[in-house]
């Protein structure tokens, strides 16, 4: 009975004792006599209903009625379950005797009778004797069905993957593919057989859509059909076709789109502001490249969890691909729950994606179906405790070293020029001329240069701000005369810090990271100071600071419009070295030219040349410092992780160290202070191990799902006890074993699947087979499917000739641009060539779907989408007939047809049908199409073809 847990509702122990009515066989007249007989009556009483009140109750992790020590200690409530000799101080007895219905136990059912309460009381009063030989209650005492503490431990998916023998095949079938043997064996049980093989045109359309998500061109179809005729069969040409498709760069685009569904990837934060993540796209491009390169899947797993450890930084965009609530609050309850939700997303998505398990269900209690105790959830959570949402630079060691050398050289150039300009300014003011004015303060970057001075401290004091708001400093840099930014190693203090905002901490003021998301805000309106203490005194001559110095600045509020910079060697006596006094007042004229009129002509010419030189050098410096960044997460060394009682961050319990799931094969754990990156590396290695029973099964099932429309297990992200039963369990294990044997290369599995007789058969319906298997789960035919939104849109573009083949980089937007704080999503009605890229390159927002293709069951990335729904709605039909996008494309399609077929309506119909369906038009189609063109125009014919079932369905 090890591991068995009680329901926790209103203090778990009482549920067990409180459910004994009529079940123990202990009569009222014998209650007192039996109270000291633990083995004969008390132990069976406790064991008989151990956990029997599961259902509406949640398990209280930590309380075990089968273990003497834990039964006495009590559960998360903190009160002792049993205090020997003191019934009134024992929570068990208090709860079964109380008249308070809210706390009385059992929670569901009649209260214990007086005699039953007395039995419990007398046992406790007599010393609550629990013999050593029953310190752990034997499973033999448990009622039937309660004997396994690790629920579902014997479930098929949790057993090691063992390659099963391939069934004997029907020699007459002509297939040597092991997949066909497994499928044929199941069909034989139902006295069913495969359909005949599909014709070449059907096959090339099917497999081309499947592997690259685009229709084959007219020329490709003709070449394939001719090759099959010349070869006297399909085998050779078909294998060549598969090799070509798997080598196509479009393969990665197609299969990365499937993967992005599974991992809930989107390019906005979600929640009420739902602002864009303009630099999230590198993760999408990483996935496309990984599929195209046929990266071994175990390596693909490792990189997404710990890519920074392997030099593949964009891969960790997986960890922070989910929603993020930007709106923070001083309320510790709110911010704690926000952080708990962020980590929950990482835990549950990692488990569902790579393991096909619903580990997230153990956040508040032990998993109800699978062997995942609540503590295991927090072991995984401890792995991700140091992962934060945000951008970070994408390192490139060679380029970074060269960039730093260039930065140092430009900074020396600026420093030298500024020192000379300072001399000219002093000379120009000596005769009473007005002081030359520097540009007004910028929200994005400001530089203050001054004669070199030796200092141990520097203080930046804000004297006024825009709108009298609390000032925000994105990054404060202090440069020594050798060009080193010594602020990076300085200790920061401040007059105050705005509380409750994780992105606006004091530590961000000199962390070397630009942008509002890593900035400091004072807690004083219109004022405040931040101070840096250097490790040792240094010769400094320049500072740089900003409000928002990100690569794409968005914020111009909270700007320090008046300020003073002072230095000190003792932290007490301060010397001002720079201020806003020689700048144009904020909001005044843009930039005033420096007035060096009182200088000699040669000096004036040199000063003006130096001024231009500094301006140009500062532009260059900004470009050099604008290091490419991506929304791929930030990593910090985490503190302790605690299990939360009922998942409540405000109810922490015992500390939990990082580790893996403990009930599935070998497990591991690390010390609570283990380095942040080491935690993720260990988890990645454990998941990607060939010994893990779930990883290979999960991805093999996903591939099957996308090839046939339904997985061998029809719940692709839940292979657990509550998931679907496998239709062909032996085949799934064989595919998982084959994947590992092939070095985890997915293309090998694709090739095996699409060359099978199972895949190549006709999709024609047969009444006898439909009567036995209407859903085609046994695969007596290829299941026909409607195109999903992405290949449907891409096909419309391909046929019209408008498809833009550009790959990679920032995506295009389906929505009109706007800069609202809470972004408004209005679908575009006018399009450019950039909008006609493949749909995988859409800058996909979270929780927002465009009005056209959003109707075709696109996931909104609010959560993981292991399989899409398939609906048929009036809105889909209306969009395909009258939507702005479809009307635009029908016009382009018509223009292409006219260019290629001329003005004859019959020829136009022939060409349009050939482009849309990949086949010749029938005489009936030509006649009907010609009439339509003559009466309503060629665009109307093109709209009709786009709406045909033959266009939008894969047979």
Q: Greater confidence, 278 or 824?
A: 278
Q: Report domain extents, the chain.
A: 16-143, 264-392+634-692, 400-625, 784-955
The pLDDT of residue 111:
80
* Gyration radius (Cα) of the chain, Å: 35
Q: What is the mean pLDDT of the chain?
A: 88
Please choose, from the candidates 593, 716, 588, 932, the residue with its C-alpha nearest in 3D space to the C-alpha of residue 262.
Answer: 716
Please choose, from the candidates 234, 206, 222, the residue with its C-alpha nearest in 3D space to the C-alpha of residue 914.
Answer: 222
In the numeric block, the tokens 């202070």 are attached to 673
Give the dihedral of Cα atoms 778, 784, 789, 793; nearest 10 deg. 150
Q: Please, are residues 490 and 519 in contact by the beta-carbon 8 Å criterion? A: no
Report whether pLDDT(590) > 60.
no
Report whether pLDDT(58) > 70.
no
Please choose, from the candidates 289, 304, 282, the residue with its C-alpha nearest in 3D space to the C-alpha of residue 255.
Answer: 289
Please choose, from the candidates 268, 254, 175, the residue with its C-alpha nearest in 3D space to the C-alpha of residue 761.
Answer: 175
Residue 397 in tokens? 């060691």
The pLDDT of residue 329:
82
- Partnered with residue 478 across adjacent β-strands are 543
Report whether pLDDT(430) > 90.
no
Report whether pLDDT(108) > 70.
no
Q: Provide the phi-psi class of 64: left if phi over 0, else alpha when psi is between -120 and 50, else beta.
A: beta
What distance in Å separates the CA atoms of residue 567 and residue 574, rounded to the nearest whole number?
5
What distance in Å separates the CA atoms of residue 823 and residue 326, rounded to the nearest whole number?
13
Q: Greater confidence, 886 or 430?
A: 886
The pLDDT of residue 172:
52
What is the arithmetic mean of pLDDT over 650-674? 94
- Going 391 to 395 to 396 to 401, the CA torsion angle's sign is positive
Please choose, from the candidates 286, 584, 552, 247, the residue with its C-alpha nearest in 3D space to the C-alpha of residue 446.
Answer: 584
Mean pLDDT is lowest, of 228-237, 609-618, 814-823, for 814-823
The pLDDT of residue 92:
78
The pLDDT of residue 219:
97
In eight-state DSSP terms, residue 109 is S
Mean pLDDT is lowest, of 343-352, 407-416, 802-811, 885-894, for 407-416
The pLDDT of residue 55:
31
Report whether pLDDT(436) > 50.
yes
What distance in Å separates the CA atoms of residue 87 and residue 81, rounded to the nearest whole number?
10
The pLDDT of residue 9:
34
Q: What are phi and psi of 653, to 5 degrees?
A: -120, -135
Helix axes 746-754, 729-741, angle to 10 degrees: 130
The pLDDT of residue 328:
84
What distance in Å separates the CA atoms of residue 225 and residue 661, rounded to the nearest whole number?
52
Model confidence band, residue 508 (pLDDT cutoffs 50, 70, 90): very high
Mean pLDDT is lowest, of 30-44, 187-201, 676-690, 828-842, for 30-44
What is the arithmetic mean of pLDDT over 667-680? 96
Q: Please, are residues 535 and 497 in contact by the beta-carbon 8 Å criterion? A: no
Mean pLDDT is lowest, of 108-117, 589-598, 824-833, 914-923, for 589-598
What distance in Å separates the CA atoms of residue 15 and residue 102, rounded to the nearest whole number?
13
Residues 6+ apart with CB under 8 A from 588: 440
Please choose, from the candidates 210, 209, 205, 245, the residue with its C-alpha nearest in 3D space to the C-alpha of residue 222.
Answer: 205
Report whether pLDDT(832) > 60.
yes
Q: From residue 738, how far is each of 300, 357, 747 by CA, in Å?
A: 18, 22, 12
Report whether pLDDT(594) > 60.
no
The pLDDT of residue 32:
41
Q: Provide the phi-psi class of 86: left if phi over 0, else alpha when psi is between -120 and 50, else beta.
A: beta
The pLDDT of residue 75:
64
Q: Is 661 exposed, middle or buried (0-12, 13-18, 19+ CB in 10 A)?
A: buried
Q: Greater confidence, 824 or 869?
A: 869
Model confidence band, residue 40 (pLDDT cutoffs 50, 70, 90): low
CA 683 to chain centre: 17
Q: Could you tell me where the DSSP H helices lie in 862-922?
A: 874-882, 884-901, 905-917
Give the dihedral of Cα atoms 170, 171, 176, 180; nearest 10 deg. -20
In the numeric block, the tokens 């301060």 are attached to 574
Model confidence band, residue 919 (pLDDT cutoffs 50, 70, 90): very high
Report whether pLDDT(444) > 70.
yes
Mean pLDDT is lowest, of 25-29, 790-794, 804-808, for 25-29
Q: Reduced to 3 states, what is the DSSP secondary structure of residue 171?
A: helix
Please choose, from the candidates 601, 761, 641, 603, the residue with its C-alpha nearest in 3D space to the C-alpha of residue 194.
Answer: 761
Model confidence band, residue 501 (pLDDT cutoffs 50, 70, 90): confident
The pLDDT of residue 809:
96
The pLDDT of residue 943:
97
The pLDDT of residue 595:
61
What is the arithmetic mean of pLDDT over 50-56? 33
The pLDDT of residue 78:
66
Report whether pLDDT(176) > 70.
yes
What is the arithmetic mean of pLDDT over 740-752? 98
Q: Please, are residues 519 and 545 in contact by the beta-carbon 8 Å criterion? A: no
Model confidence band, residue 107 (pLDDT cutoffs 50, 70, 90): low
Model confidence band, residue 299 (pLDDT cutoffs 50, 70, 90): very high
Percentage of residues in the chain having pLDDT higher than 90: 68
What is the arithmetic mean of pLDDT over 563-578? 96
What is the arithmetic mean of pLDDT over 885-892? 97
Q: What are phi and psi of 136, to 5 degrees?
A: -120, 120
In eight-state DSSP terms, residue 24 is S
Percentage of residues in the chain having pLDDT higher than 70: 88
What is the arithmetic mean of pLDDT over 365-393? 95
What is the arithmetic mean of pLDDT over 854-863? 94
Model confidence band, residue 13 (pLDDT cutoffs 50, 70, 90): very low
Model confidence band, residue 41 (pLDDT cutoffs 50, 70, 90): low
What is the arithmetic mean of pLDDT over 860-870? 94
pLDDT tens-digit series, residues 232-262? 999 999 999 999 999 999 999 999 999 999 9
Report whether pLDDT(890) > 90.
yes
- Cα–Cα–Cα angle for 385, 390, 393, rounded to 5 degrees: 110
In the numeric block, the tokens 């005729």 are attached to 229
Q: Please, are residues 647 and 320 in contact by the beta-carbon 8 Å criterion? A: no
Pairing of β 528-545 and β 446-465 = antiparallel
């Amino acid at each position: 009975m090890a591991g068995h847990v009680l329901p926790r509702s209103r203090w778990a122990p009482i549920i067990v004792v409180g459910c004994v009515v009529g079940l123990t066989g202990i009569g009222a007249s014998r209650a007192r006599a039996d109270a000291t007989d633990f083995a004969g009556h008390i132990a069976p009483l406790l064991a008989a209903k151990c956990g029997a009140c599961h259902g509406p109750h949640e398990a209280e992790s930590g309380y075990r009625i089968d273990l003497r020590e834990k039964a006495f200690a009590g559960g998360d409530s903190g009160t002792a379950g049993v205090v020997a000799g003191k019934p009134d101080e024992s929570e068990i007895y208090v709860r079964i005797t109380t008249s308070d219905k809210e706390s009385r136990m059992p929670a569901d059912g009649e209260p214990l009778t007086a005699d039953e309460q007395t039995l419990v009381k007398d046992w406790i009063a007599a010393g609550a004797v629990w013999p050593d030989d029953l310190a752990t209650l034997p499973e033999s005492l448990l009622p039937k069905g309660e004997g396994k503490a690790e629920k579902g431990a014997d479930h098929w998916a949790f057993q090691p993957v063992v390659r099963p023998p391939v069934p004997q095949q029907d020699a007459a079938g002509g297939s040597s593919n092991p997949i066909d043997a497994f499928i044929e064996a199941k069909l034989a049980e139902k006295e069913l057989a495969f359909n005949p093989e599909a014709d070449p045109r059907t096959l090339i359309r099917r497999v081309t859509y499947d592997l690259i998500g685009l229709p084959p061109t007219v020329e490709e179809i003709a070449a394939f059909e001719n090759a099959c005729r010349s070869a006297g069969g399909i085998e050779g040409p078909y294998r060549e076709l598969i090799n070509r498709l798997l080598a196509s760069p479009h393969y990665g685009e197609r299969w990365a789109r499937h993967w992005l569904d599974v991992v809930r990837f989107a390019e906005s934060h979600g929640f009420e502001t739902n602002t864009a993540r303009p630099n999230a796209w590198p993760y999408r491009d990483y996935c496309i490249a990984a599929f195209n390169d046929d990266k071994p899947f175990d390596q693909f797993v490792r990189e997404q969890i710990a890519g920074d450890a392997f030099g593949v930084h964009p891969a960790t965009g997986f960890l922070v691909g989910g929603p993020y609530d930007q709106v923070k609050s001083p309320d510790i309850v709110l911010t704690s729950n926000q952080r708990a939700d962020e980590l929950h997303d990482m835990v549950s998505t990692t488990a569902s994606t790579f393991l096909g398990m619903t580990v997230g269900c153990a956040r508040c209690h032990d998993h109800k179906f699978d062997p995942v105790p609540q503590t295991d959830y927090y072991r995984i959570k401890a792995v991700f405790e140091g992962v934060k949402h945000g951008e970070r630079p994408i390192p490139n060691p060679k380029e970074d070293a060269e960039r730093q050398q260039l930065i140092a050289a430009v900074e020396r150039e600026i420093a030298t020029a500024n020192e000379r300009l300072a001399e000219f300014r002093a000379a120009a003011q000596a005769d009473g001329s007005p002081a030359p004015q520097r540009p007004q303060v910028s929200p994005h970057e400001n530089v203050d240069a001054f004669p070199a001075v030796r200092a141990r401290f520097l203080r930046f004091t804000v004297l006024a701000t825009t709108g009298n708001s609390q000032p925000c400093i994105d990054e404060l840099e202090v440069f020594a005369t050798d060009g080193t930014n010594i602020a990076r190693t300085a200790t920061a203090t401040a007059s105050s810090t705005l509380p409750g905002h994780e992105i606006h901490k004091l530590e961000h003021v000199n962390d070397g990271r630009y942008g509002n998301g890593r900035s400091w805000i004072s807690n004083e309106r219109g004022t405040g100071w931040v101070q840096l203490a250097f490790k040792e005194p240094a010769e400094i001559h320049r500072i740089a600071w900003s409000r928002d110095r990100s690569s794409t600045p968005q914020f111009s509020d909270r700007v320090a419009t008046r300020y003073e910079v002072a230095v000190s060697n003792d932290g007490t006596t301060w010397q001002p070295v720079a201020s806003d006094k020689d700048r144009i007042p904020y909001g005044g004229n843009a930039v005033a030219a420096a007035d060096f009129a009182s200088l000699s002509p040669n000096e004036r010419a040199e000063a003006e040349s130096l001024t231009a030189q500094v301006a140009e050098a500062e532009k260059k410096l900004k470009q050099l410092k604008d290091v490419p960044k991506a929304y791929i997460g930030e990593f910090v060394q985490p503190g302790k992780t605690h299990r939360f009682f009922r998942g409540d961050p405000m109810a922490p319990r015992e500390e939990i160290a990082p580790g893996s799931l403990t009930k599935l094969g070998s497990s591991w754990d690390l010390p609570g202070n283990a380095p942040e990156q080491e935690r993720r590396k260990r988890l990645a290695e454990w998941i990607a191990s060939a010994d893990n029973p779930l990883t290979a099964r999960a991805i093999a099932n996903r591939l099957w799902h996308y090839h046939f429309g339904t997985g061998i297990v029809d719940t692709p992200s839940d292979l657990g006890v509550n998931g679907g039963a496998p239709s062909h369990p032996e085949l799934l294990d064989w595919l998982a074993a084959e994947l590992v044997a092939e070095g985890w290369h997915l293309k090998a599995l694709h090739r095996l699947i699409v060359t099978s007789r199972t895949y190549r058969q006709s999709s024609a319906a047969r009444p006898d087979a439909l009567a036995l298997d209407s859903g085609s789960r046994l695969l007596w035919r290829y299941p026909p499917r409607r195109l999903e939104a992405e290949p449907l849109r891409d096909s419309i573009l391909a046929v019209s000739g408008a498809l833009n083949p550009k790959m990679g980089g920032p995506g295009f937007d389906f929505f009109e641009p706007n800069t609202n704080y809470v972004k408004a999503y209005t679908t575009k009605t006018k399009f450019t060539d950039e909008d006609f890229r493949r749909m995988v390159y859409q800058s996909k927002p979270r929780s927002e779907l465009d009005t056209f293709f959003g109707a075709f069951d696109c996931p909104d990335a609010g959560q993981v989408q292991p399989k899409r729904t398939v609906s048929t709605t009036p809105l889909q039909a209306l969009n395909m007939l009258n939507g702005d996008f479809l009307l635009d494309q029908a016009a382009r399609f018509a223009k292409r047809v006219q260019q290629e077929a001329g003005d004859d309506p019959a020829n136009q119909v022939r060409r349009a049908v050939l482009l849309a369906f990949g086949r010749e038009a029938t005489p009936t189609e030509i006649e009907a199409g010609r009439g339509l063109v003559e009466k309503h125009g060629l665009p109307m014919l093109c709209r009709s073809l786009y709406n045909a079932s033959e266009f939008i369905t894969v047979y």
